[in-house]
Amino acid sequence: MSTVPFSTEAASVPSPGGANEDLVLTGPHFALVIDGATAEPGASTGCGHDVRWLVAEVGTRLARGLLHDPDARQPLRELLHDALTDLATEHGRTCDLDNPCSPTATLALLRLTGDTVEHLVLGDSTVALREHSGAVHAVTDDRLERLIHLPWAELRRHRNRPGGFWVAGPRPEAARQALVGRHPVASLSAAALLTDGAARLVERYDCSWPDLLDLLEAEGPVQLVERVRTAELRTAPGRFPGKHQDDATAVLCRFERDDRYHRTGDHARAESGSDGRADGGETVTEPGTRTSATATDGSGRGTE
Q: How confident is the model at residue 71 (pLDDT cuts 50, 70, 90)?
A: confident
Q: What is the mean pLDDT of residues 196-225?
A: 96
Q: How far apart are CA 78 and CA 194, in angstroms?
A: 22
Which residues lie below 8 Å from residue 94, measured CB to CB, with a gap of 6+? 48
Cβ atoms of 294 and 138 closer than 8 Å: yes
Q: For residue 293, is pLDDT > 80?
A: no
Average of per-residue pLDDT across 21-40: 92
Determine what percent of the chain is predicted with pLDDT higher than 70.
78
What is the pLDDT of the chain when averaged over all its residues? 82
CB-based contacts of 78: which residues, under 8 Å, 6+ apart? 175
Determine the angle formed by the axes of helices 209-219 and 196-203, rounding to 10 degrees: 130
pLDDT band at 298 (very low <50, low <70, confident <90, very high): very low
Q: pTM for the complete prediction?
A: 0.83
CB 172, CB 106: distance < 8 Å: no
- What does the pLDDT read at residue 156? 80
- In terms of average pLDDT, the best of 95-109, 143-157, 188-202 is 188-202
Give the type of residue at 197. G
137, 283 contact by CB (below 8 A): yes
Residue 279 reports pLDDT greater than 50: no
Percent of the chain with pLDDT over 90: 56
pLDDT tier at 1, thresholds 50, 70, 90: low
Residue 33 pLDDT exceeds 50: yes
Torsion-angle region of 236 (φ positive above 0: left; ψ -120 to 50: alpha; else: beta): beta
3-state SS track over the chain: CCCCCCEEEEEEECCCCCCCCEEEEEECCEEEEEEECCCCCCCCCCCCCCHHHHHHHHHHHHHHHHHCCCCCCCCHHHHHHHHHHHHHHHHCCCCCCCCCCCCCEEEEEEEEECCEEEEEEECCCEEEEEECCCCEEEEECCCCHHHCCCCHHHHHHHECCCCCECCECCCHHHHHHCEEEEEEHHHEEEEEEECHHHHHHHHCCCCCHHHHHHHHHHHCHHHHHHHHHHHHHCCCCCCCCCCCCCCEEEEEEECCCCCCCCCCCCEEEEEECECCCECCEEEECCCCCEEEEECECCCCCECC
